[in-house]
Amino acid sequence: MSKLIDFDAFRAEQAAEPVRLLVGGVEYELAPALPASLALDVVRMQSELGAGAELRTEQIEPIARGLFGDELFERLMTEHRLTIDELPTLVRLAFEAYNAGAVPAPNRVTRRASSKRRSRS
């Protein structure tokens, strides 16, 4: 006779509260637990870059999309007009809310210097 592992029952027993996010006076609910795929991506990225390395601007978007989901990410960008300086802070705060440091939050983000130089007239 085969054995059944009822993982659905395990999940139901967890019954964690969702993480709540307030932006622009609107409250959003995030998943009650950090998605494992996202946590593993962040750990892998930190392993490759080094624990204290700073993320480049283009590296924060996939993390933010994984954390908030595509729909909320787009809403944060368009309706709430998050700045490039605010997005990494919001991502870090969300990571901290999820697990109080069990998965290190992504470090600060550095912007690439523009390759175009403006000429003075």
Bridge pairing between strands 26-30 and 19-23 = antiparallel
Residue 119 CA, chain-centre distance (Å), reads 38
Cα separation, 4 vs 1, whole angstroms: 10
Cα separation, 57 vs 55, whole angstroms: 6
pLDDT of residue 67: 93
Cα separation, 95 vs 86, whole angstroms: 14
On the question of pLDDT at 115 being above 50, the answer is no
Give the predicted TM-score (pTM) of the model: 0.71
Poorest-pLDDT segment among 12-21, 63-72, 92-101, 108-117: 108-117
The dihedral sign for the CA sequence 62, 63, 67, 72? negative
Q: How many helices (H) and strands (E) does the chain have?
A: 5, 4
pLDDT of residue 119: 43
Average pLDDT, integer, range 70-78:
96
Site of tokens 């990410």: 73
Cα separation, 95 vs 19, whole angstroms: 10
On the question of pLDDT at 100 being above 70, the answer is no
On the question of pLDDT at 103 being above 90, the answer is no
36-46 pLDDT tens trace: 888 888 888 88
Cα separation, 118 vs 52, whole angstroms: 33
